[in-house]
Structure 1
Amino acid sequence: MNSRRDFLQKLGISALALHLAPLSGWTASKNNVEAPYEGRVLRVAIMGLGSYGTRVAEAMQSCVKAKLVGVISGTPSKIKDWQSKYGIPAKNCYNYENFDSIKNNPDIDAVYVITPNALHHGMVLRVAKAGKHVICEKPMAINAKEGQEMVDACKKANVKLLVGYRMHFEPKTLEVIRMRNSGEFGKILFFQGQCGFKIGDPTQWRLNKQLAGGGSMMDIGIYAINGSRYMTGEDPVWVTAQETKTDPEKFKEGVDETIQFQFGFPSGATASCLSTYNMNNLDRFFLDGEKGFAEMWPSTGYGPIQGRTHKGELTQPVTTHQTVQMEEMAAIVFDNKQPVVPVNGEEAVKDLKIIEAIYQAAKTGSKVVISL
């Protein structure tokens, strides 16, 4: 096992098995057969056929409201493989040079951009100009200015801009949010988010400032940032941060290895978080209130999310995150469904502004005021 990410990926496979297992003992009858879905299906082309693009494609095979119908890639061999595996017609296959012509393809409703971070901005602008809805992986851009330009471009083109915040649809996460909203934790006092793993290949794009826009904060730290917001139900108003770098050869200038950061919220609640590319066994959220607590561990990984509160273990069903995400996003696009926690471009711009404030606080050693 090379990293915790490998472990989480294996857990993801187990999660899918757990999710599907109950179906094997199910017996059809007139009383328990659900009516087949007859609404519109979101027809999606995936841009970027790497490991996460593959994970999304596999998860979409279980969707009823969304369907993989196209691909965009700079690697012809990958396009050929995906065509064969997923039955994608040649007319729905594009490369990075010609995909603007997707505007003339009525069989594609949306493009899911799953490329390195620095490419998101330009690709999303082109997809919006082509008149297609956009789903973009997080972080949505490498800075808030680019992020806002993406939001504005999609609004101008009258297309939806959604971001791959899969945890916003995860059942145990939503149960904790429901409990907080109903006052079961009382006044929220403190949040702790620990996110990290020991990254491998030093030549990968995630360790390239030009492609990633940073280091661990742009990849794994954003989970703690976003998690602090949906777990407390507030946006932070100040941040302090400290950066630690033990391997400057692997983590070059502008590529953060480990950052600890602390938030203050309008209510007086505080948060203490960690983002790292140099430690395993970190994927934990803890929320403390005057009347109770919630702990999630694993809190954001691909494998089964586990958690407990002062009332006992969380028992909501295990799901395949990307399957649920795509089903819900189809409802957002076609039915204007409003999720419990937003997954729109405005939500992503907030996270980008917070990331910029964290970097500034780590660099200056000063408390930085956050204005969202």
Structure 2
Amino acid sequence: MNSRRQFLGKAGAATLGISISGIETLSAMNSAPQKLMEDRVLNVAIMGLGSYGTRVAKAMESCTRAKLVGLISGSPEKVVAWREKYNIPAENCYDYGNFDAIKNNPAIDAVYVITPNALHAEQSIRVAKAGKHVICEKPMAINAKEGKEMVDACREAGVHLLIGYRMHFEAKTLEVVRMREAGEFGKPLFFQGLSGFVIGDPTQWRLDPKLSGGGAMMDIGIYSINGARYMLGEEPIWVTAQEVKNNPEKFRDGIDETITFQMGFPSGAVASCLSTYSMNNLDKFYLNGTKGFAEMQPSTGYGPIEGRTDQGPLVAEHVMHQTTQMDEMAKLIFENKAPKVPVDGEEGLKDMVIIDAVFKAVKTGEKVSLV
């Protein structure tokens, strides 16, 4: 029977004028484009060569799917130093005035925008209009209106907009998400997020409302907002918030020092969070359910992340977060590989809507609806 089936298969192929080897060749040709995408390296230009840009560049030295190939900076002296260190061609280097010319540079696939918050929207939209994929550091903008403009511009340009949510690829974080989805904690009831540190130099851009769009909430509080969403697996439906400012000279109008805020979720779960620029040792997530819990401290620092659940310690190899992030973003762009926790512009926009609501709740003293 098998020999008869093989004979008929060969006869049919011969009738069509196609040899068996030809069929195999066609099959290989069809799979070749996918294989090419799986091997393709994402060529990235970093915009903003400050401390975090430096961290990303260092992390990318260990990437297998992403490579630093270009620079965009307003500091010529930094460009010179980085060119020498990373062997960047002169034709791949730009300043903030002329970087629209990347449109004509096929050596660059994407730009990672790592500049002050207030510059993100305008710069990201320019990158999109130049036809390059956008990776933007969080927060994606200074408010939801700007975030929506970024999402729309990238969609219109047909490019990806990704937000630098490195924790969405971190192994211990993803294990907690897996356990929650598997029901190992039972019904989630409560989340606590503590995010803060004592900020230093009072002249830095993070304490300038025109550049930052806010204080601790924009910088560190967003981790608790985002963490509550992926730890509980729901979107909040209301927010309340209170602000404390003990040092108005350092934290002037438009710069929040400390905000405590609460969020309610459709299931009845609640989140209680704190964002501050005036206290150290605050980097903790706690998730409590009807059957168990997860506790992480540090929960969002550069690592290693430490944590435990009611079942024991969380164990995973520590890899530089930005290394994993950039490799996984390359797969997302070239292979449409969806991450467990989204990192697209819509994800970033959700956080901006909540941040806007937190600031409104502080100002009005009222519960702000998110639905």
- Secondary structure at the counterpart of residue 168 of structure 2: helix
In structure 2, the residue matched to 1:17 is none
Looking at structure 1, the residues matched to 242 and 43 of structure 2 have their Cα atoms a distance apart, in angstroms, of: 44
Counterparts of 1:200-279 in structure 2, within 5 Å, are 200-279=200-279
Confirm or deny: 8 A CA contact 2:38 2:334 kept in the other structure: no
Offset from partner CA, 1:129-159 (integer Å, 9 cap, x none): 0000000000000010110000000000000
Looking at structure 1, the residues matched to 98 and 327 of structure 2 have their Cα atoms a distance apart, in angstroms, of: 28
Letter in 1 for 2:339: P
Looking at structure 2, the residues matched to 338 and 148 of structure 1 have their Cα atoms a distance apart, in angstroms, of: 21
- Secondary structure at the counterpart of residue 134 of structure 1: strand
Letter in 1 for 2:142: I
Letter in 1 for 2:299: S
Offset from partner CA, 1:51-74 (integer Å, 9 cap, x none): 000000000000010000000001
Offset from partner CA, 1:248-296 (integer Å, 9 cap, x none): 0000001000000001000000010000000000000000000000000
Looking at structure 2, the residues matched to 97 and 119 of structure 1 have their Cα atoms a distance apart, in angstroms, of: 13
Offset from partner CA, 1:338-363 (integer Å, 9 cap, x none): 00000000000100000000011111
Looking at structure 1, the residues matched to 319 and 89 of structure 2 have their Cα atoms a distance apart, in angstroms, of: 30
In structure 2, the residue matched to 1:64 is 64
Looking at structure 2, the residues matched to 38 and 88 of structure 1 have their Cα atoms a distance apart, in angstroms, of: 25
Q: Which structure 1 segments of 5+ residues have no match?
A: 1-36
Deviation, structure 1 residue 334: 0.1
Confirm or deny: 8 A CA contact 2:38 2:335 kept in the other structure: no
In structure 2, the residue matched to 1:4 is none
Deviation, structure 1 residue 303: 2.0
In structure 1, the residue matched to 2:349 is 349
- Secondary structure at the counterpart of residue 272 of structure 1: strand
- Secondary structure at the counterpart of residue 100 of structure 1: helix
Looking at structure 1, the residues matched to 360 and 133 of structure 2 have their Cα atoms a distance apart, in angstroms, of: 33
In structure 2, the residue matched to 1:166 is 166
Looking at structure 1, the residues matched to 282 and 187 of structure 2 have their Cα atoms a distance apart, in angstroms, of: 26
Looking at structure 2, the residues matched to 316 and 49 of structure 1 have their Cα atoms a distance apart, in angstroms, of: 31
Looking at structure 2, the residues matched to 352 and 217 of structure 1 have their Cα atoms a distance apart, in angstroms, of: 11
Counterparts of 1:1-372 in structure 2, within 5 Å, are 39-371=39-371
Offset from partner CA, 1:289-332 (integer Å, 9 cap, x none): 00000000000000200000000000111111000000000000
Looking at structure 2, the residues matched to 75 and 365 of structure 1 have their Cα atoms a distance apart, in angstroms, of: 43
Letter in 2 for 1:206: R
- Change beyond 3 A, Cα 1:271–1:135: same
Looking at structure 2, the residues matched to 141 and 38 of structure 1 have their Cα atoms a distance apart, in angstroms, of: 31
Looking at structure 2, the residues matched to 318 and 162 of structure 1 have their Cα atoms a distance apart, in angstroms, of: 23
Deviation, structure 1 residue 183: 0.2
- Change beyond 3 A, Cα 1:340–1:258: same
Letter in 2 for 1:351: D
Looking at structure 2, the residues matched to 156 and 365 of structure 1 have their Cα atoms a distance apart, in angstroms, of: 38
Looking at structure 2, the residues matched to 151 and 239 of structure 1 have their Cα atoms a distance apart, in angstroms, of: 24
4+ runs deviating over 4 angstroms:
none
Identical positions, percent:
71
Looking at structure 2, the residues matched to 180 and 318 of structure 1 have their Cα atoms a distance apart, in angstroms, of: 22
Q: Give TM-score scaled by structure 2 length.
A: 0.90
Confirm or deny: 8 A CA contact 2:38 2:331 kept in the other structure: no
- Secondary structure at the counterpart of residue 57 of structure 2: helix
More relative contact order, 1 or 2 (CA 8 Å, 6+ apart): 1
Letter in 2 for 1:150: M
Offset from partner CA, 1:152-208 (integer Å, 9 cap, x none): 000000000000000000000000000000000000000000000000111100000
- Secondary structure at the counterpart of residue 288 of structure 1: strand
- Secondary structure at the counterpart of residue 255 of structure 1: coil
Letter in 2 for 1:68: L
Letter in 1 for 2:109: D
Looking at structure 1, the residues matched to 95 and 314 of structure 2 have their Cα atoms a distance apart, in angstroms, of: 44
- Secondary structure at the counterpart of residue 252 of structure 2: coil
Confirm or deny: 8 A CA contact 2:188 2:269 kept in the other structure: yes
Q: Give TM-score scaled by structure 1 length.
A: 0.89
Looking at structure 2, the residues matched to 172 and 317 of structure 1 have their Cα atoms a distance apart, in angstroms, of: 9
Confirm or deny: 8 A CA contact 2:100 2:127 kept in the other structure: yes
User: Larger Rg: 1 or 2?
Assistant: 2
Letter in 2 for 1:251: F
- Secondary structure at the counterpart of residue 283 of structure 1: strand
Looking at structure 2, the residues matched to 303 and 42 of structure 1 have their Cα atoms a distance apart, in angstroms, of: 25
Confirm or deny: 8 A CA contact 2:172 2:315 kept in the other structure: yes
Deviation, structure 1 residue 38: 6.9
In structure 1, the residue matched to 2:14 is none
